[in-house]
Amino acid sequence: MKKLIVFVLCVSLAMGIIGCESKKKEADNNKKTEESSKKDVVNDPDMYEGAVLYTDLINKVGAIPKPTKDLTIGFAAKAFENEFWGAVKKGVEAQGEELKKTGMNLILDVRAGQGEADEQGQAALMNDMINKKYDAIIASPISDGNLVQATEKAQAAGIPVINTIGGFCQVMDVFVGPRSQQCGELAAEWISNKLGETGGNVAVIMGMPKESAARGRTEGFVQWLEKNNKNIKVVDTQNADWDRQKAKEVMDTLIKKHPDLKAVYVNNDTMVMGALESIMAAGKKEQILVVGNDGTNEALQSIKEGKLDATINMFPEYAGKISVDIALRKLGGQELPKVIYTNLAIIDSTNIDKDPEEVIGWSPLQFK
Structural domain boundaries in the chain: 52-178+316-343, 180-313
Nearest to 208 by CA among 200, 199, 218: 218
Task: Report the C-alpha gap between 216 and 181 in whole angstroms.
Answer: 5
| pLDDT tens, position by position, 146-172 | 999 999 999 999 999 999 998 888 899
CATH code, 180-313: 3.40.50.2300
Sequence-separated contacts (24+) of 254-258 with Cβ below 8 Å: 254/203, 254/205, 255/279, 255/282, 255/284, 255/288, 258/201, 258/203
pLDDT band, residue 273 (cuts 50/70/90): very high
Mean pLDDT confidence for 257-275:
98
Mean pLDDT confidence for 330-335:
96
* C-alpha triplet 312, 183, 275: angle, nearest 5°: 55
Sheet bearing 232-239, strands edge to edge: 232-239, 200-206, 263-266, 289-294, 310-313, 345-347
Residue 325 contacts residue 336 (beta carbons within 8 Å): no
Task: Check whether 4 has a pLDDT greater than 50.
Answer: no
Give bridge partners of residue 310 from the DSSP assignment.
291
Task: Report the C-alpha gap between 280 and 272 in whole angstroms.
Answer: 12
pLDDT band, residue 109 (cuts 50/70/90): very high
pLDDT band, residue 85 (cuts 50/70/90): very high
What residues contact 256, with CB distance under 8 A and at least 6 apart? none
Mean pLDDT confidence for 255-262:
98
pLDDT, position 37: 36
pLDDT, position 42: 54
CATH code, 52-178+316-343: 3.40.50.2300
DSSP state of 342: P
Question: At 278, is the secondary structure helix, strand, or coil?
Answer: helix
Question: At 290, is the secondary structure helix, strand, or coil?
Answer: strand
Task: Report the C-alpha gap between 113 and 80 in whole angstroms.
Answer: 9
**Mean pLDDT taken over the chain:** 89
Residue 48 contacts residue 336 (beta carbons within 8 Å): no
Nearest to 135 by CA among 70, 207, 43: 70
- Cβ neighbours around 92 below 10 Å, total: 24
Residue 179 contacts residue 341 (beta carbons within 8 Å): yes
What residues contact 214, with CB distance under 8 A and at least 6 apart? 206, 207, 208, 239, 242, 267
Q: Of 6 and 266, which is predicted with more confidence?
A: 266
| pLDDT tens, position by position, 18-47 | 444 444 444 444 433 333 333 344 578 888
